[in-house]
Amino acid sequence: MALPEDGGGAGPAPEQMKEEGTQQPFLFGNTLRVAMWDLVGFHFSVQNPSPPSSCEVRPGPEFLIRFYTFYSNRLFRAYQFYYRDPSCQEPAHSLLIKGKVHLRQASWITQGATEADYHLHKVGIVFHSHHALLHIARHLNQTQAGQDCTGRLPLDRAWLPGTLYELLSSQVPGDCMAALGFSMHELSLLHLQHHMQQQPGVAPHLVKELFLGDIHTDWTERQHYRPTGYQCPLQSVLHHTWPCLACSLIACSDEHHPPVLPSRPALPLHLGGHWVSMGCEARPAVLFLTRLFTFDDHKHSWEGHYHHFSDPACRHPTFTVFAAGHYSRGTPSPRVHGSTELMFEVIRAHVTPMDQVTTAILNFSKPSSCGGPGVWSVGTERDVTATNGCHPLGIKLPHIEYELFKMEQDPSGQSLLFIGQRPTDGSSPDTPEKRPTSFQAPLVLCKRQAQGTPRPSQHRPPMQNPPIGWAPYLPAIPLPILLLVQGLASFEWL
């Protein structure tokens, strides 16, 4: 069934909405509670403002761009543009989603976030190619529920380019969202943030970002999963990172005219050097951390420092882990073009408790489970290699992970490193079948490895102090460390 083209009453016209967005201030960073006025305006997904990476990569893999508009009457309109390629140059289909979102209270699980309820009014799909129609139809035919939904799609020879076909409507019974594996549970967790972008020779520029709930890495769990972490942020149309060649393309798009991003060649993977988190990172299961990696391209060895915190501002450290090992030579990924598949081995690890609660947990554990005999004390590092890791923290040694890496550059030419997204259930990608198909927040290159063969390192440099408060998140509220420890089914190495 085709949907009417009248817009379905989603709220004010885009021109009016843009004007309202300028009149109503965003209240980023002022309170844990998000007000509806904070959301008013246009937001689109820009994972990295340079053209090749404005395309989001979700587990699957799925390649998409999001463009969401929130109105002051709690209505929203969301576009999700799906593509056949990771550069977002070959549109497959577009989803038009309309509904209502009701903000509730500050999340007691994920600090700094606001919980919300949402209700979908309409969902329509536009196919941009015959191949895309056949792909969706094949997917629906795999289940009985999906077969019941195929009647909503056109027959093979009856497909008309540009026609909007109804998948869900408040006026018509039936819901094909589950059969497609689609949900908008990302709207059940929101976090607003702003920061000033510094550029040489230009006045500081305000950037406003909206973080929505994370998507489960297991496709079969997406209908039931309620997020505890975030996806890459949406940026405000009026206050986004500059320069952004893709932003104007996305802002002018709709379900009939998906943005087609400019082409740029994939960068070769050169890991050698020091890479660090761009800010405080939030992961599912209420994990907050910063990462620092050193890769040696000559010896194919790596070292990593993982600084864990109890708050979304990364101001209250709980424990730090140092790990080291080797990695294989990379091969091009057959599933995510432009990415590289590698295998990482973790052979040794050190743990430093950074607060009294974590220290007490380690002292109450069996000596054979973490570091051997001896008393743990705050700020003192101990080697846990001999005990094959540290069971209370989910650290297992030796350990192998199958990884996915890619490199990009931001508009200023700064190198960025994307490492595979960790499984939502806390497990480890320890088999080729579990290799990631999407990415975490990028790391930024601090120092490139010097050319030539380096001298072998005899001793590891002293553990660095944890980088505290790297990002302008909301004020911290103490979180029981028990939640943090229980979330570590297995330690997330990369």
User: Predicted confidence band at 451 (pLDDT cuts at 50, 70, 90)?
Assistant: low
For residues 431-446, average pLDDT: 94
User: Predicted confidence band at 257 (pLDDT cuts at 50, 70, 90)?
Assistant: very high
User: Predicted confidence band at 41 (pLDDT cuts at 50, 70, 90)?
Assistant: low
CA distance 96 to 365: 52
Residue 481: which H helix or E strand, with range? helix 481-486
For residues 20-39, average pLDDT: 43
Contact partners, residue 93, CB within 8 Å, separation at least 6: 82, 125, 126, 127, 128, 132, 133, 136
Helix, strand, coil proportions of the chain in percent (round to 5)?
A: 15, 35, 45
Q: In this structure, are residues 229 and 221 in contact, taking their beta carbons and an 8 Å threshold?
A: no
For residues 308-317, average pLDDT: 93
More confident residue, 105 or 26: 105
Task: With CA atoms as reference, report the closest residue to 98 among 75, 127, 131, 67.
Answer: 75
Summarised one tens digit per residue, pLDDT across range 292-304 is: 999 999 999 999 9
Q: Kind of pairing, strands 75-83 and 91-106?
A: antiparallel
Cα dist from 404 to 70, 225, 396, whole Å: 34, 24, 21
CA distance 297 to 272: 5
> pTM for this structure?
0.82
For residues 366-373, average pLDDT: 93
Q: Enter the tokens of residue 344.
A: 């990482």
Q: Enter the tokens of residue 53.
A: 């990476």
User: Predicted confidence band at 115 (pLDDT cuts at 50, 70, 90)?
Assistant: very high
**Peptide bond before residue 200 is cis, with ω within 30 degrees of 0:** no
Summarised one tens digit per residue, pLDDT across range 264-273 is: 778 899 999 9
User: Predicted confidence band at 47 (pLDDT cuts at 50, 70, 90)?
Assistant: low
More confident residue, 201 or 487: 201
Residue 424: which H helix or E strand, with range? none
More confident residue, 478 or 83: 83
The reported pLDDT for the residue numbered 491 is 75
Q: In this structure, are residues 190 and 211 in contact, taking their beta carbons and an 8 Å threshold?
A: yes
